[in-house]
């Protein structure tokens, strides 16, 4: 079973990722580096890969963030964005065993954070504050390269419009759409990630309003 060291060297690992994205000679090599890091950690430790990106986005200078963002551009262009597996929405429902082949789905870093907050048992879920901090750092990293931001917004909107994929619930997809639209229209990471949280609360507010009106 994959396991982190008792005291992971997060800063050193993030610096190594940045150095690789700067020093490697081509886009293919940089994408291979991202893939090797994510695959080396495995699905169980995919959040550790997100944390490395989060650290670069939160603490890196512009050059560091831009180097990783440019690697993400090629990953997005070629459909090789490092992803982590999560259970498909409703996979734990009665009868789900009949569809065992489709019970996990691949999610990229930002979508994974969204599902981690919105579709995880409360004891293991990211709080709203944790999501907001992590999403902002990741989005700031991506936004260092305008093309990465554009391509990622397109991906998020495609994911939000895909009910067949099964990775995200309807409420999560609508909230993801709100985030992607705001971000694509120039909102900063603070506002765009806040849109996700607000949109996620809206269905609950609508239900409560309907109950109160009865």
pLDDT score for 133: 96
- Specify if 97 maps to a domain: no
- Specify if 18 maps to a domain: yes
- Specify if 98 maps to a domain: no
pLDDT score for 105: 82
pLDDT digits (tens, 9 = 90+) for 79-121: 999 999 887 655 544 444 334 345 678 899 999 999 999 988 8
- Specify if 96 maps to a domain: no
Average pLDDT of the residues in 151-167: 89
Report how far apart the first and last C-alpha atoms of the chain are (Å, whole number): 52
Distance CA(66)–CA(79), nearest Å, equals 20
pLDDT score for 206: 52
- Specify if 2 maps to a domain: no
- Specify if 94 maps to a domain: no
Name the domain count of the chain.
1
Banded pLDDT at 202 (limits 50, 70, 90) = confident
Q: Mean pLDDT for the chain?
A: 86
| Highest mean pLDDT, choosing among 64-73, 84-93, 104-113, 155-164 | 64-73
- Specify if 121 maps to a domain: yes
Of 93-97, 143-147, 162-166, where does mean pLDDT reach its minimum? 93-97
- Specify if 3 maps to a domain: no
Banded pLDDT at 1 (limits 50, 70, 90) = very low
Banded pLDDT at 203 (limits 50, 70, 90) = low
Average pLDDT of the residues in 14-20: 96
Domain residues for the domain of 71 are 10-85+105-212
Give this prediction's pTM: 0.85
């Amino acid at each position: 079973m994959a396991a982190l060291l008792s005291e992971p060297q997060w800063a050193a690992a993030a610096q190594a990722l940045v150095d690789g994205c700067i020093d490697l000679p081509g886009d293919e090599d940089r994408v291979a580096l991202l893939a090797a890091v994510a695959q080396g950690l495995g699905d169980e430790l995919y959040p550790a890969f997100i944390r490395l990106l989060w650290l670069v986005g939160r603490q890196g200078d512009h050059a560091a963030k831009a180097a990783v963002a440019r690697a993400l551009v090629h990953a997005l262009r070629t459909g090789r964005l490092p992803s982590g597996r999560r259970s498909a929405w409703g996979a734990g429902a009665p009868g789900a065993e009949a569809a065992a082949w489709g019970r996990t789905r691949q999610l990229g870093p930002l979508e994974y954070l969204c599902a981690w907050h919105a579709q995880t048992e409360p004891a293991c879920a990211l709080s709203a504050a944790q999501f907001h901090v992590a999403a902002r750092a990741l989005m700031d990293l991506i936004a260092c390269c305008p093309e990465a931001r554009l391509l990622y917004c397109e991906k998020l909107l495609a994911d939000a419009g895909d009910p067949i994929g099964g990775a995200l619930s309807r409420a999560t997809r609508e909230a993801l759409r709100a985030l992607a639209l705001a971000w694509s229209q120039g909102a900063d990471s603070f506002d765009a990630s806040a849109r996700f949280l607000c949109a996620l609360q809206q269905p609950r507010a609508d239900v409560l309003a309907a109950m109160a009106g009865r």
